[in-house]
Structure 1
Amino acid sequence: MIDLSHWNLTIPVDAEIIQTEDLQTYASPWFIRNADGSITFFAPSSGDGIKSTKNSTYPRSELRETLPNGDDDEANWSLDSAPVHQLSATLTVDSLPASGKAIIGQFHGESNHPPFKLQVARLAGSADTFKINVQHRPKLNGKELRPSFSRPFKLGEEFSYDVQVTSTGKLSVTIDDETVSGQFDIRSYKNDKWYAKAGIYSQEMVSGKGAGRATFYAIDMTHGDKAGDRPEQSRRELQR
């Protein structure tokens, strides 16, 4: 089972936040609990009550990191608060909106320009194939870089991602056996507080067409002295 004890959830209807305590038993068309223990996140671009959050124009069904003790208080951490901060997940991207783009994991800071986003983007001329981009800003509010993984992925194809950022600002994002790296300017981000997010954050404006949909089999966010296990271990536990 996915541990939801240190997350809250924003759903696309009224951009409502489901707090940590309520999330433990929550289910809806936007947050579907499947029989195998996986969770499907669904963010349609239009429909009754579909709204974006403040400072955004896109709908989302997305987890937001909270404190690990199960309280509803939001988690906000600095790069130097632990040697390694790690977000890992195993998932399938099931559908994309008309724009062909969505965010499936991110580290957000205090500004409107997140330091890191993991974006899926449909390949031109293809209905079911996408690439994965590592969008990151080496400096606070600076230019965004967008290196991509070399191989394409299919809708419905299961994969795992592992994102690590160290206290020295080193970023590494691994999918399968490929790693894309980057470097944050720790002086620029010294006073910035970060938090993790995961789910489906559709990149199609509200009132647009289509929907983002992704099914997660494992999600984990840790802060510690070293990198943890890759999410395949959690996936194997789920299948037993």
Structure 2
Amino acid sequence: MALLSAVVLSATASIENPSFESDWENWADTDPSAISGVAYAGSKSAKLSGSGAKMEQQVAVSSSTNYRLSAYVDGAGILGAIVAGGTHQVQTNSGAWKKLEVEFNSGNAQSVTVFGAYNGAEGRFDSFALENLGGGSSSGGSSSSSSGSSSGGGGSCTGNSNLAIVSANDDGSNDGHGPGNTIDGSLADESRWSSSGVKWITLDLGALRTVKGVNIAWYKGDQRSSFFSIDTSLNNSNWTTVFASGQSSGNNADFESYDVTDTTARYVRITGSGNSANAWNSILEVDVVGCGGSGSGSSSSSSSGGSSGNSSSSGGDLNPSLPPSSNFDLGDWYLSVPSDNDGSGTADSIKEDELNSGYQNSSYFYTAPDGGMVFRCPIAGYKTSTNTSYTRTELREMLRRGDTSIGTQGVNKNNWVFGSAPASARDAAGGVDGVLRATLAVNHVTTTGDSSQVGRVIVGQIHANDDEPLRLYYRKLPGNSKGSVYVAHEPKGGSDTWYDMIGSRSSSASNPADGIALNEKFSYEIKVVGHTLTVTISRAGKADVTQMVNMSNSGYDTSDQYHYFKAGVYNQNNTGSGSDYVQATFYALENSHTGYAD
């Protein structure tokens, strides 16, 4: 994650070229960043698609004056201001265009640096503004972190999720496998950090967070034990040991989780002292687990880390008068609907270009009164193939983004592969590993039909060539006021393994005490890194629920296996009344992959 700096240039705090209609004029940009044709206002925005992306500009301000910085963000991002060495910021991790605001007092400063930041996934920024609120002391209506300061910690937060990591650094003595490899989302052997002796790697979280744990995937983790300790710091200078005399298991090629002493920190340092075979310290990937922002004034639209931390609607930023593609970036999706307008005998497919040209259908796919994207699917309808048992109104990921010279199927630029796949497959694919995030509410489920099928709907998937590594279900039984959430993992050519996350998938389940009611918003994150599949369910005011699946023996890391995400409603009932239906409204949808930039 990289800081995206804007420094305002006029005494009246006017940001030049605030909507990027003149491309990068008045901004100094650093890749991977680009001008995007998807905009909140006008025709352009700035897109941040990976670690290191940033842009800068400068503004003169009046001293001892209150200011409000705002910008619209589509996807993930951090917005903030650096004032006399202190940082005031707010963040978001998902959602269609939403307005972020952060307030600060200029103090003795004559200029400030306002910034946005890559926040673990792709994001677009548009319509920057800096408003003069007048003189006086700081209103404190923002989150802030200042180097060396412990103010504004996240100690009261609840729940756990993977925190965004701004950067990774070491002392420069690595063997060419640098520290940035540990936060690139890949578990490939060549994507590692390696340094010999007693050596450290420092992770910058970008702001104060409550750190609760660290997940580490060790190089050759199933062949040797690594020796290490973990420390945290507020200022990258004074350190507190939170995990001492650590030793990895020596029998695990995937992530191992280490529960550390809960602390408020911006920096996390892992110090290695060799392994059971030699003096090398080698790490494939790191996740820092925790929660919270860096102050009580953090934005209600922010969420921590890589998973969607809150389930509040983006509805204030969604326009109910526009078709779904005007509220959501659907450029890398096509839509299946259970009609047959082309006379093929199978469900219609709305390809990328048509979908993004304002397509909507009042029966199956349209914009809700609150601006959400509605997916509706009855039991009766056309199916996508003769081998499919159920109807669907569902998006299928298409990384080719309308380039029909690229085929739909195969290990190619339209699909992605696991980070554990051979190098030839990773090079040929459109992306490596993946994250799908969504915020939604299930509005209706079927109430008729066989008891084994009633009330079921799939709202998210990972699909492979012929199998389904992940299906995410919501199910509410008649008579129950709340629904359950569970997942299925299907190994290549094998049988499903089921995992209950909230409540039970049983056809006779009692009302789940902690279940999700119809029309209740929640968020999910589906994440694949190498062999590890992680599904997280997030709700406002409740701890996240997480399920991890080890896919080492699932058969998907071969050179011919490809994958794509799916989202929407996949009706899992074919026995009820034909007019009975499932429906869900999505308020945020975001997909990302290592090496993929639309």
What's the TM-score, normalizing by structure 2? 0.35
2:365 is aligned with 1:31: yes
- Specify whether residues 52 and 208 from structure 1 end up closer, same or farther in structure 2 by C-alpha distance, changes over 3 A only: farther
Which of 1 and 2 has greater Rg? 2
Determine which structure has greater relative contact order: mean sequence separation of CA pairs < 8 Å that are 6+ residues apart, divided by chain length. Answer: 1
User: In percent, how many aligned pairs have the same letter?
Assistant: 32
Structure 1 unaligned spans of 5+: 226-240
2:598 is aligned with 1:224: no
Q: Hey, what's the Cα distance between the residues in 2 that align with 1:192 and 1:84?
A: 12
188-197 or 66-75, larger mean C-alpha shift: 66-75
The residue number in structure 2 matching 1:163 is 526
Deviation, 1:206, is 7.3
Find the residue that maps to 1:148 and give its secondary structure: strand
Q: 1:130 aligns with which of 483, 497, 505?
A: 483
Matches within 5 A, 1:1-240: 1-14=327-340, 15-24=347-356, 25-28=358-361, 29-46=363-380, 50-54=381-385, 55-67=387-399, 69-71=401-403, 74=408, 75-80=414-419, 81=426, 84-97=433-446, 98=448, 99-111=454-466, 113-123=467-477, 125-126=479-480, 128-137=481-490, 139-150=491-502, 151-166=514-529, 168-176=530-538, 177-185=544-552, 188-189=555-556, 190=558, 191-205=560-574, 208-209=577-578, 210-224=580-594
Q: Hey, what's the Cα distance between the residues in 2 that align with 1:120 and 1:141?
A: 24
Deviation, 1:152, is 1.2
- Specify whether residues 186 and 219 from structure 1 end up closer, same or farther in structure 2 by C-alpha distance, changes over 3 A only: farther
Q: Hey, what's the Cα distance between the residues in 1 that align with 2:555 and 2:415?
A: 17
Deviation, 1:68, is 5.0
Conserved 8 A contact 1:130-1:152? yes
When the two chains are superposed, the root-mean-square deviation of aligned CA atoms in Å is 2.0
Deviation, 1:52, is 1.3
- Specify whether residues 194 and 123 from structure 1 end up closer, same or farther in structure 2 by C-alpha distance, changes over 3 A only: same
- Specify whether residues 125 and 141 from structure 1 end up closer, same or farther in structure 2 by C-alpha distance, changes over 3 A only: farther
Letter in 2 for 1:174: T
Q: Hey, what's the Cα distance between the residues in 2 that align with 1:20 and 1:133?
A: 30
Find the residue that maps to 2:585 and give its secondary structure: strand
Structure 2 unaligned spans of 5+: 1-326, 341-346, 409-413, 420-425, 449-453, 503-513, 539-543
Letter in 2 for 1:34: A
Deviations 1:185-216 (A, max 9, x none): 36711231111100000011177441010000
The residue number in structure 1 matching 2:220 is none
Find the residue that maps to 1:21 and give its secondary structure: helix
Find the residue that maps to 1:56 and give its secondary structure: coil
- Specify whether residues 71 and 217 from structure 1 end up closer, same or farther in structure 2 by C-alpha distance, changes over 3 A only: farther
Q: Hey, what's the Cα distance between the residues in 2 that align with 1:53 and 1:206?
A: 18
Deviations 1:41-68 (A, max 9, x none): 000112xxx2112121211100001125
Conserved 8 A contact 1:32-1:41? yes
63-72 or 12-21, larger mean C-alpha shift: 63-72
What's the TM-score, normalizing by structure 1? 0.84
